[in-house]
Amino acid sequence: MDTVIGNTGITVNSIHFDSRKVELNDVFVAIKGTLSDGHKFITTAVNQGALAVICQEIPEQIINGVTYIKVANSQKAWQLWRQIITIRLQKT
């Protein structure tokens, strides 16, 4: 984690890298891909209810009430989160 802007004491429902799947109180992970850059969809995800955004670049326009988490590699952050959740689910 490089930078955090916003509230870190939030409760979220789910995490998505596809902005079309984001719902109220979800986290959106903006991943730079070969065909598309998820950073272009941050506003869409926030408009659909994203409470937090994990990104490699903080957007120029910060939306009040949204937490922005800047990481060096959002793809790796997504993969790490998926591993943690899988381990926790297996333990329950």
In tens, the pLDDT along 15-30 reads 999 999 999 999 999 9
User: Structural domain tally of the chain?
Assistant: 1
The domain of 85 spans: 3-91
> pLDDT tens-digit profile of 38-54?
999 999 999 999 999 99
Sign of CA dihedral 31, 37, 39, 42: negative
Question: What pLDDT score was predicted for residue 83?
Answer: 78
Domain of 40, CATH number, reads: 3.40.1390.10
Q: Which alpha helices (DSSP H) does the chain contain, by range?
A: 42-47, 74-91
6: its two tokens = 């916003």
Question: What pLDDT score was predicted for residue 14?
Answer: 87
What contacts 70, CB < 8 A, 6 or more positions away?
1, 2, 3, 4, 5, 55, 56, 57, 58
Question: What pLDDT score was predicted for residue 79?
Answer: 87
